[in-house]
Each structure stands twice: as structure tokens, then as C-alpha cells.
A and B are shown apart, each in its own frame.
Chain A
């Protein structure tokens, strides 16, 4: 640390951050020397609440983890609880409807991100234009599900609402409208000389760093790592599709991993999502949309069933994992753990922010599309003093040893829904 360096805190509340989190930068003039990310100010204890409710209730809770990628949380939780309860024959039509919803949400999330990125650069005109563009897909989401943000579409064994044939023309209309606007969107971002000036070679995440930090989603695809859950471990309707991970090179731009490359990936994915929705609409098989029409029967089935499973989805921000454990005879979800994509990606911040100018911090932080609401799952607080702390590797080791001993003691007894 040189003599003239100083500390610059950004957060917990700051105009550059759409959600509360905390950065501490050690600065040398305008250049960032060291970064310390201190999350934990947006913890709401959703998993704790969820472990006192039955899987059908948790569906709605899962959706409320995030306000933007709400449906992927529901998707991952649905898949995890289905696997845990052994519900395997989900109708194909339901799978396709799930895929359509997830992709509609990806479009809205990426277009929203583009607006946020423009705002971080002080380009509010582009922000308002992209958000106007986003209204189209929001309208369609509302048309299908009745809601603009939390769609309440999925549940164990199927979906709640059908996409009937008379609804399809309206969705197709939206797709063709986006195809018309797509080139404009790409030009507005990728051809603008000032946008290039602010993003090319800014916030570079090399392929090596991307692999080392296990970044996910567009963050890692911008660096040229072809990682996409929809391709690697297809779920729902994606299995019928011939998908390839979107990499910047598909648009003739090298996989440099800078902010511009991540923008290219997101814009490509908007186009890809349009293709996926169109394919699903055209090839949607007829049939029921639920495995069991009676909700009480589904609930009873899950109460009797036991098991643990992981549900993985590709959120707009990357791979998202829900872990669910159900115990036989216990109505509630015994264990629920959410690992959102941003949790992986914030580690990449450390690599991307060092050496950046202070002016780049906002756009580099935004380039991973951080979703702090999804990510903040833990805050370590001393119950007596109210002091917040940080867990080290040794602490975790000690705690896991203690837990293993406790589990050994409890062996044979029903676990009774607690950790």
C-alpha cells in the first residue's frame, strides 16, 4: 500500500448499486488497488422461513427471493422438490410452458440489465428506451400469467396456467416485434463509440480467472467458457432443443471477458431466447398440464415422500442451485438451501475491479448483473451482542466437525426439521 492511497467505501446504499451491498476500495488516485466485498446487509432469512412451511407454500416464497429472476428460483425449487418427492412424470406440455416462461423472463432480465448498464454510464436516454422496449415482454408475461413480476406459474407436477392456442398469436406478435427491434438494440449498445470507449478492455475477466473463480452465466461466457446449464444438463423443454452457449465470438468479437463481451453475450441471448420461445410454441405437445389435478393429493404425496435433491436452472445471471430435503411424515421442507448465480460471480469482482478506474467501478460491478437479493443468504450475527462477524476457514472447519458429531449422535432418530 503506497503512502498516498486511501479507502473509499461504496455502499451499503449507493446510486451505483441497485441493491444494498458493501465495497471497500483501497484507492491510489483514480485507480483501484484492492477490493474488499462485504455482503450481508440484504439478508432476509427466507430459507429459515421456508423450513417452517410446506413445499407448496415455499413455492411462493422462493419466487420472492428475487424481483427480476423470480421464476428461475421457483423453477429450481420445483425441480428439486419434485425429485426429492419422486414426482417424475411431469407432462411434456407443462415442461414446454415452464421453458417458455423462463425464457420470457430471460429476455426481460437482459433488457433490464442493458438499461441499468446504460444508466451506470450516465446514458439515461438509452435506459429509458430499453425499459420501454422491456414493456412488451412484461405485457406478454402478464397476459400469460396475470402478473408482471411474480408469475406463480409452476408447481410440483406441472404448471398452474395453460398457454391455450388462442394466446399464441399475441406471443408471436411480441417475438416478431422484438426481432424488428433487435438490430436497433444491438446497434445502440455495440456500435456506439462512447459505449465502446467505456466498456472495451474494462473489467476484464480472463478465461483462467473465470475458471478459477467458478463464475457462471454471461459473466463466464463473456470470457469464452462455454458453460450453460441449459446445454450441459438440460432440463424441461431444453432437452428437445439444439442449444449452444452464446459466446461473443458468434458476433465476431473475441472472447476477451471485458464488459463489452458480456454485453455481446446478453444481447445474443435475447435473440436465442426468442428462438427458444418460438420453437416451444410451435412444438408444444397437447395434453394435460399437471401430473395431478388435486392439490391436496400432491401435498399428501410430498408429505409421505422423503429424499433430498438438487434443482439446477440457468438463471439470466447463470447457474442457480436449490437444495431441498423432505423427510417422510414431515409436511414441511426439512432443509432448503439456495445458491444463486451472483454468489459465484461476486468472487469474480475481485479479479475484475483491481486496476480499474473509479469511474469504471459502477459498470464493472454491474457487468455481472449482481442480484444481491438472491445472493445474500447468510449474515453472521452474535445473538447476544448484535455484532456482525466474518467466518474464516477455521471457523467453518470447526462448525462442520461439530455438526458431523451431532448427526452421528442423532443417527437413527427422525431429524425433525432442523439443522
Chain B
């Protein structure tokens, strides 16, 4: 039951969450670029470079190429950005529960995750450039490949929760937050959960089109691929969508596997109950801890990976997701299943 005041509060919260996600996502992009630069013995751009890029792109001319389908070409950046921002409303942000948690769950998140990639692919096809068309084809192939292990991971987790905690909502982040998976599994299940986590970690860079899975953009092959024809405001929107999506992917991994808050530990070991009685302090501690966890996930799945590998060819990418990663995810599922048998 939602009264009208509650609706306003939620709307306000939602808008604030979206704005915060844009700012934080771009900030993480800046950190990622700086760290990657240092790993490659470069100085790298200043941390605020992504913000500068956006403000510059916003001032630039937005070109429609000859032969482009105008409304699709300009519509897709909006759709991609909206989908990425909608994701923000369904994902827990550390101490802040999702603004629309009662109205959507992991299944919705899975669908919304597809939309920015799909928008990019459609935008590429509609631009009328052969380079963008090749990029869009690759993006579609890559999506079909990595969605499979991604779905396996999410479904296995949900299935596991229905077995272990009957009656809980299996597709809600709150369930994972209340009882993190590591406390529910035995030794076999622990290995299974690690395999699922690894599969999700491998899916992340391609979900974000980062090296080694950046075949759709492939600067030195396709000169930007499906982004080749985009410029100005449209490109800025895709850029922001990409930043937000990066943040969201990391937040999903944190929400599914590491939803642990820090404040109880601080309270217990540092004996600060007086401070902890203030919910604001606990919120700040947990919020910062959450941001730190997101940073670690992005560092491990995006920054180090893109520094350490060359670009893979599209057939190899497809193979990697459809065979080894899917098998790894299925093995994780099997181990979780064996674990529940032992538990019962």
C-alpha cells in the first residue's frame, strides 16, 4: 500500500540515486583509467577526466550520418541511458535499500541489463556504416554468448535460496542481504559458490565491452565499431550509460555475493556502541565500505583484466562463454545441489 507521500519520497530518492550513480560511475571510470595508466607506466589522465569528456561531448555537434535511420539512431542512446539508470532503482546500494525494491527483482535486472547493449547494437545497425554494422553483429553474438552463463548464475543462486530458505523471495536482493550465501553452504557448496562468482566475474568485462572482450568496439580493427558514427550528445549518453552499467554490474556482484555490512564488526570489535546508536554513522560507515567493495570488484574484473590481456577474436569470445564459462557455472550449480542434499 503506497500513499501519495510515500510516492513522492520514492521519486525523490530515485532521482537522487540516479544522479549519484552517474557521478559515482564516472568517478570510478576516472579511477580505473588512472590505475590502468600507472600499471602501464604512464601518468594517465586526471581523475576528473570523464567529467570533462562528458561536458566536452555535450558541447559538440551531434552528427547524423547519411543513410542512417534517424529516429532509431538518435533514440537508442536515450533508451540505453534510461535502461542503465532504471537499473539503479532496483539494486541495493550498501545501506540504502533499492528505491523500488517492492516492484522488481533480479529477473527484471537481468532484462534491464540487456537493454543498453541491445540499444547500442540497434544504434550501430541503424547508422548505415559497415564498420558499425560489423560491431553491432559482434555485440549481438557476444550478448548471446555471455547471457547464458549469466542466467545460469542468477538462476542457480535463486534456486539455492528456495531450497535452503523455503518461503523467502528467491529473486530479491534482500534475501541475500539477510543471509549471505557463504553462511549457508558447506564445504562443497562453498566451492560451488566460488565457481558461480568466478563465472560472474568473467561475464563482467564483456557486459561492459572492455578488453579482452571489446570486439564490438575494437579501436584498432573497427575504429570504435558500433560507436563509430556516434558523436556529441548521443555519444555522451552512451558514455554515461557505460559508466552507470559498470557501477551496476559491480553492485550486483557485491549484492549477490558480498552484501555484508561493516558497522556490526566495527561495533563489536572496536566497542563503539555509543556512536553506533546513531544510525547516520552506521550508514556512513556501511556506505563507504560498499563503495570500497565496488571499487575492489571493478579493479579485479575490469582494470587488471584490461591491462593484462590483448583483445580476443569474436569466435574465441563466443567459445569461451558458451563452453568453459558455462561449464564452470553449471559445475557450480551442481556443487550447490550436492551441498543441499548433504544439508537435508
Contact = CB atoms under 8 A, between A and B. Distances in A.
Interface of A: 6-9, 14-16, 27, 30, 118-126, 128-129, 132, 194-195, 197-198, 357-362
B218 interface: yes
A359 B221 contact: yes
Contact of B221 (A125, A195, A358): A358
Nearest to B39: A125
Given A30-B314, A195-B310, A198-B310, A122 B220 contact: yes
A105 B186 CA distance: 63
Given A16-B221, A121-B310, A359-B221, 6 more contacts: A16-B223, A122-B310, A122-B311, A125-B39, A197-B312, A197-B316
Nearest to A14: B223
A189 B96 CA distance: 48
B130 to A, nearest CB: 5
B221 A8 contact: no
B41 interface: yes
A346 B98 CA distance: 59
B220 A362 contact: yes
A contacts with B: majority SS: helix
Interface in B274-316: 307-316
B80 interface: no
B131 interface: yes
Nearest to B131: A8
A358 B134 CA distance: 9
B124 to A, nearest CB: 14
B134 A15 contact: no
B268 interface: no
B310 A6 contact: no
B67 to A, nearest CB: 13
Interface string B44-70: 000000000000000000000000000
Nearest to A29: B137
Give me the 6 closest cross-chain CB pairs, A-B, nearest first: A122-B311, A123-B310, A121-B310, A128-B40, A359-B313, A362-B220
Which of B39, B40, B314 has the most chain A CB within a 10 Å cutoff? B40
A197 B312 CA distance: 9
B314 A122 contact: no
Contact of B211 (A6, A7, A122, A128): A122
B221 A362 contact: yes
B41 A128 contact: yes
Given A8-B131, A194-B312, A125 B40 contact: yes
B103 interface: no
B139 to A, nearest CB: 13
B118 to A, nearest CB: 21
A47 to B, nearest CB: 32
A198 B311 CA distance: 9
A129 B308 CA distance: 12
A72 to B, nearest CB: 27
Given A8-B131, A30-B134, A122 B313 contact: no
B214 interface: yes
B220 A120 contact: yes
Contacts of A14: 223
Nearest to B224: A15
Contact of A123 (B219, B309, B315): B309
Which of A118, A194, A195, A359 has the most chain B CB within a 10 Å cutoff? A359
20 contacts: A6-B130, A15-B219, A15-B223, A30-B314, A122-B214, A123-B310, A124-B40, A124-B307, A125-B40, A125-B307, A125-B308, A126-B310, A128-B42, A194-B212, A197-B316, A357-B313, A358-B222, A360-B313, A361-B221, A362-B221
B215 interface: yes
A359 B316 CA distance: 11
Which of B214, B219, B307 has the most chain A CB within a 10 Å cutoff? B219
A198 B313 contact: yes
A347 to B, nearest CB: 23
A349 to B, nearest CB: 16
Contacts of A7: 130
Nearest to B307: A125
